[in-house]
Amino acid sequence: MKLDIIAQLVQILKDAPELGAIEVRRGLFGFWSSVRVSKAGHGIGGGHHVVVSAPPGGAGMAPAAASSHPVAAAPPVAAPASPLVDIKSPMVGTFYKSPEPGAEAYVKVGSRVSPGQVVCIIEAMKIMNEIESEVSGVVKEVLADNAQPVEFGQALFRVDPHG
């Protein structure tokens, strides 16, 4: 990764106080790198993950820049207005709240969820994919309707991690 790109990432941190850190990693054989952005007050593991292509032929990051240490972090800021965390759809498909028609929903408003717990099914290309929670807390909102299409990245549930 070139120094001007790293400088741009640092500038993004300065301009966006809601961001806490940007982590850059080298991919296999130097052909790609990943950039992980996290919100202030959250660990690197709780952020968004974006894959960025690097030019082939090893023109990626230098080994020193490929460490797992985050780029300089902005000072912590006040918590965002909404303490709720979204569970988002990892794919395009059809949302189902229960394992079969007539069965009780995996979760509903007021249900307590934990990481790894199945919260719904998304059918994609005739394959039923169980979607698991990545957070623990109490479900405050169910945002998708049963048997309705959902998009990649669409919020399905809102969870209060402090509940």
In whole angstroms, what is the distance from residue 157 CA to residue 85 CA?
8
In whole angstroms, what is the distance from residue 145 CA to residue 125 CA?
19
**Average pLDDT of every residue of the chain:** 74
Residues 83-108: tens digit of each pLDDT: 899 999 999 999 999 999 999 999 99
pTM for this predicted structure: 0.51
Q: Write the DSSP string, 114-158.
A: -TT-EEEEEEETTEEEEEE-SS-EEEEEE-S-TTEEE-TT-EEEE
Mean of the pLDDT values across residues 28-49?
Answer: 51
Predicted local distance difference test score (pLDDT) of residue 12: 75
85-160 CATH choice from 2.40.128.720, 3.10.520.10, 2.40.50.100, 3.40.50.620: 2.40.50.100
Domain boundaries, the chain: 3-66, 85-160
Q: Which amino acid is at 65?
A: A
